[in-house]
Structure 1
Amino acid sequence: MLFLQPPPTPPARDVAKPGVVATGQRTTPAGMQTVFAGRVGGVRFDSASRTVWVAVPGSVYRLDWNDGRIVSRQRFDGRPGVFGVAVDPPTGRALVTTVGRLADSVATNRLPGSAPLASRSSIAQLAAFEADTGAGRARTTSGAVGDFLAGAPAAARVPNASGRRVAVVPLPANDALAVLDADALTPIASVPLGVVPVAAALARDGSRAYVTNLGGAKPTAGQRAARQCCDPRAESVRIDARGIASPGSVTRVDVAARRVTRTLTVGRHPTAIAWDEARERLYVADGNDDAVHVIDTRADTVAAVIAVAPFRAARRIGLAPTALAIAPDGRTLYVALGGANAVAVYDVSGARASLRGLIPTGWYPSSLDASADGRWLAVGTLYGVGSGEGEVDGKRGGYVHAVRGSVHVVAVPNASELAAYTVAVAQNDGLPLATSVAPAEAAGPRAVAARPVPERPGEPSPIEHVVFIIRENRTYDQILGDLGRGDGDSSLVMYGRDVTPNAHALAEQFVTLDHFFASGGNSADGHQWLTQANETEYPMWPLYYGRSYPSEGNDPLAYSSGGFLWEAAQAKGKTVTIFGEYAPAPSDSVPSVRRELMADWDRHAADDPATRSRHFRTLLGTRYRTRSAIPSLDRALVREYPGWTQEVPDVVKAEVILDHLRGWTAAGKMPHLVMVILPSDHTVGTTPGWCVPKACVADNDLALGRIVEGLSRSPFWPKMAILVVEDDAQNGVDHVDGHRTVALAISPWAKRGVVDPTPYVQPSMVKTIELMLGLPALSVFDLTATDMRASFLAPDEKPDLTPYSAIVPRQSLSETNARVGAIIGPDAAARRRAALASSRMNFFTPDAAPSERLNAILWHDARGWKTPMPAVKRALFFPLSVDLDDDEREERRKP
């Protein structure tokens, strides 16, 4: 059964080995902490302040937070919804939204006014868990009321005029609000809403509900809009002139009449909502605007906007208000800041809100509750203490999806305690407080000597051209664990020197970056961090289940309001050329096309290099016409270079780049910023007819080597830097941390033959590019990231102009996986099973193949079918690859 979890690791007060906070920040959570396996979906105080309800994948816990004692644990199949816990006021039961496979014995409820459910494999329902039950399962459930995802439940305290007490659940994948009987949990009705409804607040008597719509109202004819990707049921989202999703909305619903009575525009990505009904004020957290809207519920108008800006630094997006709680007396508003790992405390007793201070939390707080007595604050975090480990035969390894969320309960601090907490948050985030002295860099650039990575934006650099190459899905140990220097583990190597000689040579000849960490866990995370130095809550939580998979520039709800790296370059008058990065995938990948192109590349191997490159550029130009709905990206795209696809070998893509390089050379002018996607190291598993995994990786490696060789022999090399990174680590094993990945810094101005052990994250690389090109920061993350200055020369050191020579891997690039019936010899049965499993996986979209199964296949293919794979504790984060079984993925791809 999908989502059925193995026995979970018991919650712990602390962990022996915290994982890396891959945003580059530190965390020092206040209060009493409890760590859980998986992301915390919601936390609410019980009727007694001493206990809290906590929802995590597969379980609902009632926790005595003071001594870490589990009062009860009740199970369900699947994962909790977003803000997935409410306490039913009259009964004390925990109402929990859950998403999992529907048992055959449970009815599928088609609510009046709703569309048919799309799936029986990933359904949303509401379950009630009794406070006096020590173990077991929910006694009362609603049955299926929606698909793929559920939002925040809310229940009325008293019956309405008809004598019925109601509950509501937003359904993000169905764009609807489910109305249910709060006692029996029987569905009553469905009310259509806007795009991605997430959170709801319900009047005491259930007469009115207010619901946030992340994407606002549905677009009407003539409005600027862009379609979400990857699913026949995907819809259009309103966008602004930059291609970013327009501000969201709050919908008022007459619950008894089951109709929308008013819609208010608020900020971008309204996520959480909190209603102070007694004082007739509604608070809405705008996650992609760093603001909180205040709505007067008497007139249903926007009364104020609280700008979340606790720091002195020039305001940048990324603090990400994710959750809200109101003190019982209504005088204090608590705002969880997912991007700052903090809770902001606001005094809202007067006409204008004022910031009292900040409370430090675990990694990415996303749920909040204030106790009824006003003395305590409960905080639930998505990532908590970072990723954990697995073990087999005494061998341990880190995995990015072994998430360990946390809950910590904090005594509401007095003024002096809050002042100390506030200083801790500022130090953790590397940002000066608004009350502090302005930092020196606020004065702007100085007249100083040029250096490869300037200290301040706008200061001179000898580097005028940056080539930013993004590859796919490998950990450091999988590739460079055998490098012989730096912090590697050769027992975890899968694609060593025979397969990746260029990655090895470049890491040896230039800088070995052995502590570089991908900030996200999959492609929907990584490409956002690398293009925007930020990730909105839509892919981070994630909120895209049943709608899209925003791995590339194919969903406006994934775009940060801070904008894109190429957009910042264009605004500064820099020229930009982009080879496929962040462009939507052209189509389903076809193995025969890859084989034909690979054979064609082999046939032309002896041709004059210029003739060969021109041939492939012309050939791809007849097949692809790459476009983007993001205007700034579309202007920079190379039309004949496809977006993410496996059907074009990376060495063929390299020919297109080299042909453009010849054109730049002839013109005597090269773009300031060049971005490239090289995805073949993703592999296609052991799918028959496709490249064997080692050939896919070798193709990627040789393409990288040839591109670097061409660039280093061009006239632009003396003023160039090439920065290379993986978009994520794909849940592969690494002995340091599951986020650690392969990164390279290549330039005449880079240090040679040294190890740089500085901990870097993906925003570090983005910041380094910005400093080289004189660009402003896009978010708080690149603003505060550690730049890569330690990998480059000092101002008084001379560049080494020695060019690079590509190395041909010993592994054949043309080797393909055999047909299932042709697999014979040792371990044939296991190899056939792997081939069949791979053939059912969806490789047309990044990460649509199930990561754990794919990684097991790749491990055994590389290391031997009898070599035990380092075990991973069950990956409790469900990306698209795990959320759906293969049959359902195929069903979703049908028009």
Structure 2
Amino acid sequence: MPIRTMSRRAMVLTSTATALALGAGVTFAATGLGGTTLGSKRVGRQADGSYLTATNQFVTPVGDVIKEDSRPFGLALRPDGRTAAALDSGGTSPNLVTVFDLVHHKVLQQIGHGLISDGGILYSPDGKHLWAAQPGNLVRYNVAASGWLSHAVIVPLPGSGGRQAVPTGLAWAPDGSLLVTLSGNNTLAVVNAGNGRVLRQVRVGNAPNSVVVVGGKAYVSNQGGRPARAGDQTDLSYGTAIVTDNAAPSTGTVSEVDLRTGRQVRTFAVGLEPSALLAIGGDVVVANTDDDSVTTIDTLKQRVGRTFSADPAPGAPFGAQPNGLAMLDATHLAVSLGRDNAVAVYSYGGAYTQPTFEGLIPTGSFPTGIAQDRQLKRLVVASEQGLGSVGPDETVVQGLGTKPATGHFVYNYVGTVQSIAMPTARQMAAYTAQVFKNNQWNGLQQRNLSGDGSAAPVALPLRVGDPSTIKHVFFIVKENRTYDQELGDLGRGNGDPALAQFGRQVTPNVHALATRFPLIDNLYSDGTDSAEGHHWLDQAFVNNYLQQMYGNYTRSYQTLDPLSDVKTGWIWDDALAHGKSVVNWGEQMDSYVDASGNLTPPGSWASWYHDSRVMEGKAGGPLNHPLGSYTVKTDIPSLARITKPDFPNFDLGIPDQYRADLFQQDFAQYVQNGNLPDLNMMWLMSDHTEGTNPGGITPRAHVADNDLALGRIVDTISHSPYWKDSAIFVIEDDSQFGVDHVDGHRNIAMVISPYAKPGAIVDDYYSQLNFMRTIEQILGLPPMNQEDLAAEPMFDAFTDTPDFAPYTYLPNRIPLTETNPRPAAAGNGAAQAWAAWSAKQDYAREDMINMAQENRDIWYSTNGFSSPYPGDSSVLLPDQVPGGAATPTGDTDG
């Protein structure tokens, strides 16, 4: 259906709406310290029907909205246009595929179990089959006339170099064979759709993603760019050397494959991490996701046409994440913008014509699939995070010595699929203004005017570049707790004592610090797990590549994967580029190795705890692990140069007391030499816990260890000469393991400083982005991308009347060597089965465990393996747990 509304009048109306949006919001910039434009709103549904997400954004999906208790990733339209299907990425329903009825606007079916791959779902041209990708396989379903799926057939795919295949994109070849991009193999596979046999593989670029066919040629987007050459700087992603600059990809390509000869015949250089492709006549349109741009390729002339920006945020340097493409009619192109929660509409006149921006359409959170339903004459959009974590409550059990808790869980996303009629001119103008409002873009440029350095020093300057009374920032990252899990029993602020699984008895220092300094009780993690959490904190961003691996992480997890890193760099790069000194203790490090490069042996908590006591003068030597025996490694050159080599990265066999001891030694030298850096980063991770791992430290002992280490570190800083001009920022990287009565993303966040407002209850809505923006503002660092650009500093947490009294840490009340018991060797088959399962789990690395199983293991262990997990009808064995096969399979993490 032609978009008759996309006339010059439509463009004028849209431009007017945009101009109004740009001019709004000046009041805050003029008045300064006035809180936040979001006030004290809570995450979730608002009175006006919108939803506030954990990323400082509202979502107001338009059209007919279908909701599902999962995260729909990707989108396939059946040829009749009446149904659509999406892969399910995580969520509470461990399904492989969800089918949506686009006529009656409802979920028709959820089917299958197990992990999805990093993309790939496609109907056959006759609509009688659906193909879905999962790690190592394709799954083919029969499709009934109603759209109902049945008779799943597994089609195995070959891996490469000992790694399983990662199918990502699917398309039909002219001869009826199925084309599959194999991201892990760096190939395009040709599959016989009848018998599932792989006919051939064609080597293309690195980490191929999508594929389209034009004129008998296949075009493949290569997220990892071209193959490396001699002399290139490279980093490994799933065994492939990616050409990088400071560990972020620096090339992107599209391969042209001759399907007749089965050869790659040429490549086209495009933007960074190209993802979606769209064939328009003889053109191929490419979404350059990590460049915020779209490139056209003229396949007839075999050359790149025009590249245009797809970043509508005013003054934003980076961050829209274009990741989907569709033609609305012969002259209008729709581009889904993952991070902007919108679809952008452009005029399209061919490969060499500059498109005209015509407006934005609001979607759910992080759209990942977009298609034009020509039969129903509507635009269909799947949004992975939809309305946020507003799904059913969940019960979580942390382990021995803790109690079960039921509340909002971070993984309980409600995804959305929208069916949208073509907007009129007036609707497009209103939609565009709504997207600006949703993303906090109104007045964005005015809020970010730079200071000239002439203002009087205050704790938190109004403008970047104006002086602060705070000269040294400590940025401490902890692991995986919700606000209620630790502070629900504080007795002040918005807590639920029934959910305090690690309350005052376990975390006396967190409680004391949250009482003396500001209590920040309305701040949220932007991500759901450590892979996302550390990127949100260190880059103020999570890109489409990392987002699309959610719930799976087939290629990798968190670190050691350059494709998850973005070109705008890291917080330490921002600091170094603006004349600030930086030191790092552990954050974002990949491994802890001996002189031969061997990873830290499993070792015992007791052996490292002994070394901690030796360093504190509480035990006799020698050290079991002499300093220098192990050093941390990272693939990020700029981070390697500022990192203390002895400080361990993630390892739950090493207590945080040991890390606190190393910090105290280094800090004493800084005090002696008078050269404390401006930005001091640290990772303390014992509060992650290792569940009921037999013989391992109990969850509450892990959390108590973390609490004591934090208390000791604050004590050390506050009793030093640097306390007078320091601020300590403490935050969890995410809050995945717990529940909370407000939202599973609600984070324990603390600002500890003479300039932190004493005893205040800070109830303004904030997220990790505001947290990072506050650090940037104090140090005079410009925001790194549009996410922290739109976030406002946490003005309400600071005062310009300092209190220089030091803090004295409180001793632990839980023995730090308390261990999990070993289940009975006989007499209970369930106990034996779960002990065998637990002994095989990877507790040495972050999140390398299936939480559906882990939560049951912990519940059973504290209930004698006789009481069913809440919601189950009986005690289950590990292989009986729904979704139990969906254990993360990343080859490494941090």
* Aligned pairs (5 A) from 1:430-579: 430-432=440-442, 439=446, 441-442=448-449, 444-445=451-452, 447-542=454-549, 548-552=555-559, 554-579=560-585
In the aligned structure 2, how far is the partner of 1:536 from the partner of 1:63?
27
| Equivalent of residue 262 in structure 2, options 255, 258, 261 | 258
Structure 1 residues 776-832: Cα deviation after superposition (integer angstroms, max 9, x where no partner): 101111111132111111xxx4111111111111101122334456x89xx998776
| Equivalent of residue 681 in structure 2, options 675, 685, 688 | 675
In structure 2, the partner of 1:410 is 420
In structure 1, the partner of 2:785 is 779
Distance 1:215 1:882, change over 3 A: farther
Question: SS in structure 2 opposite 1:623?
Answer: coil
In the aligned structure 2, how far is the partner of 1:887 from the partner of 1:195?
26
Question: SS in structure 2 opposite 1:152?
Answer: strand
Unaligned stretches of 5+ in structure 2? 1-44, 89-93, 397-403, 594-598, 874-880
* Aligned pairs (5 A) from 1:429-828: 429-432=439-442, 439=446, 441-442=448-449, 444-445=451-452, 447-542=454-549, 548-552=555-559, 554-586=560-592, 588=599, 590-602=601-613, 605-606=616-617, 621-793=627-799, 797-820=800-823
| Equivalent of residue 39 in structure 1, options 71, 74, 83 | 71
| Aligned residues of 2:408 and 2:744 also touching (Cα < 8 A) | yes
TM-score calculated relative to the size of structure 2: 0.85
Structure 1 residues 224-266: Cα deviation after superposition (integer angstroms, max 9, x where no partner): 11123xxxx63322112x2211222111111121111111121
In structure 1, the partner of 2:848 is 848
Matched residue type, 2:440:
G
In structure 2, the partner of 1:273 is 277
Matched residue type, 2:759:
G
| Equivalent of residue 75 in structure 1, options 90, 111, 131 | 111
In structure 1, the partner of 2:41 is none
The Cα shift of 1:475 comes to 1.4
- Is 1:98 paired with 2:104? no
Matched residue type, 2:640:
D
| Equivalent of residue 244 in structure 1, options 231, 248, 271 | 248
The Cα shift of 1:675 comes to 0.3
In structure 2, the partner of 1:165 is 176
In the aligned structure 2, how far is the partner of 1:589 from the partner of 1:498?
32
The Cα shift of 1:290 comes to 0.7
Question: SS in structure 2 opposite 1:696?
Answer: helix
Bigger CA drift: 664-673 or 835-844? 835-844
The Cα shift of 1:136 comes to 4.7
The Cα shift of 1:166 comes to 2.3
Structure 1 residues 368-389: Cα deviation after superposition (integer angstroms, max 9, x where no partner): 0012269421101111011123
Matched residue type, 2:816:
L
Unaligned stretches of 5+ in structure 1? 1-12, 100-121, 874-880
Distance 1:427 1:885, change over 3 A: same
Distance 1:805 1:64, change over 3 A: same
The Cα shift of 1:679 comes to 1.0
The Cα shift of 1:366 comes to 0.7
Question: SS in structure 1 opposite 2:504?
Answer: coil
In structure 2, the partner of 1:191 is 202
Question: SS in structure 2 opposite 1:707?
Answer: helix
In the aligned structure 2, how far is the partner of 1:184 from the partner of 1:34?
35
- Is 1:152 paired with 2:169? yes
Question: SS in structure 1 opposite 2:667?
Answer: helix
Distance 1:634 1:395, change over 3 A: closer
Percent identical: 33
The Cα shift of 1:334 comes to 0.8
The Cα shift of 1:87 comes to 3.7
In the aligned structure 2, how far is the partner of 1:567 from the partner of 1:44?
40
- State the superposition RMSD in angstroms: 3.3
Matched residue type, 2:328:
A
The Cα shift of 1:666 comes to 1.0
In structure 2, the partner of 1:22 is 54
Matched residue type, 1:341:
N
| Aligned residues of 1:97 and 1:151 also touching (Cα < 8 A) | no
| Aligned residues of 1:511 and 1:756 also touching (Cα < 8 A) | yes
In structure 1, the partner of 2:393 is 390
Matched residue type, 1:703:
A
Structure 1 residues 525-558: Cα deviation after superposition (integer angstroms, max 9, x where no partner): 0010010000111221117957543323x21111
| Aligned residues of 1:287 and 1:537 also touching (Cα < 8 A) | yes
| Aligned residues of 1:384 and 1:406 also touching (Cα < 8 A) | yes
In the aligned structure 2, how far is the partner of 1:40 from the partner of 1:440?
35
Question: SS in structure 2 opposite 1:804?
Answer: coil
| Aligned residues of 2:692 and 2:857 also touching (Cα < 8 A) | yes
In the aligned structure 1, how far is the partner of 2:98 from the partner of 2:698?
45
In the aligned structure 1, how far is the partner of 2:283 from the partner of 2:314?
29
In structure 1, the partner of 2:19 is none
In the aligned structure 1, how far is the partner of 2:591 from the partner of 2:117?
30
In structure 1, the partner of 2:32 is none
Matched residue type, 1:168:
L
| Aligned residues of 2:475 and 2:682 also touching (Cα < 8 A) | yes
* Aligned pairs (5 A) from 1:131-150: 131-133=144-146, 135-138=148-151, 142-144=155-157, 147=164, 149-150=166-167
In the aligned structure 2, how far is the partner of 1:836 from the partner of 1:140?
31
The Cα shift of 1:348 comes to 1.5
Bigger CA drift: 361-370 or 178-187? 178-187
The Cα shift of 1:885 comes to 5.0
Distance 1:829 1:661, change over 3 A: farther
In structure 2, the partner of 1:220 is 229
Distance 1:696 1:14, change over 3 A: closer
Question: SS in structure 1 opposite 2:249?
Answer: coil
In the aligned structure 2, how far is the partner of 1:39 from the partner of 1:202?
28
In structure 2, the partner of 1:7 is none
| Aligned residues of 2:405 and 2:739 also touching (Cα < 8 A) | no
Distance 1:224 1:764, change over 3 A: same
In the aligned structure 1, how far is the partner of 2:569 from the partner of 2:526?
18
| Aligned residues of 2:849 and 2:887 also touching (Cα < 8 A) | no
The Cα shift of 1:414 comes to 2.5
Question: SS in structure 1 opposite 2:268?
Answer: strand
Distance 1:665 1:395, change over 3 A: closer
| Aligned residues of 2:87 and 2:132 also touching (Cα < 8 A) | no
TM-score calculated relative to the size of structure 1: 0.85
In structure 1, the partner of 2:124 is 88
In the aligned structure 2, how far is the partner of 1:680 from the partner of 1:488?
23
In structure 1, the partner of 2:326 is 325
In the aligned structure 1, how far is the partner of 2:771 from the partner of 2:51?
21
Question: SS in structure 2 opposite 1:263?
Answer: strand
Distance 1:565 1:864, change over 3 A: farther
Structure 1 residues 155-199: Cα deviation after superposition (integer angstroms, max 9, x where no partner): 24xx5xxxx322212122232222124566554222222222111
In structure 1, the partner of 2:434 is 424
In structure 1, the partner of 2:285 is 283
Structure 1 residues 47-105: Cα deviation after superposition (integer angstroms, max 9, x where no partner): 444543444363645534353245x537333355555333433x134533232xxxxxx
Number of residue pairs aligned between Structure 1 and Structure 2: 817
In structure 1, the partner of 2:100 is 63
In the aligned structure 2, how far is the partner of 1:837 from the partner of 1:128?
32
In the aligned structure 2, how far is the partner of 1:489 from the partner of 1:681?
20
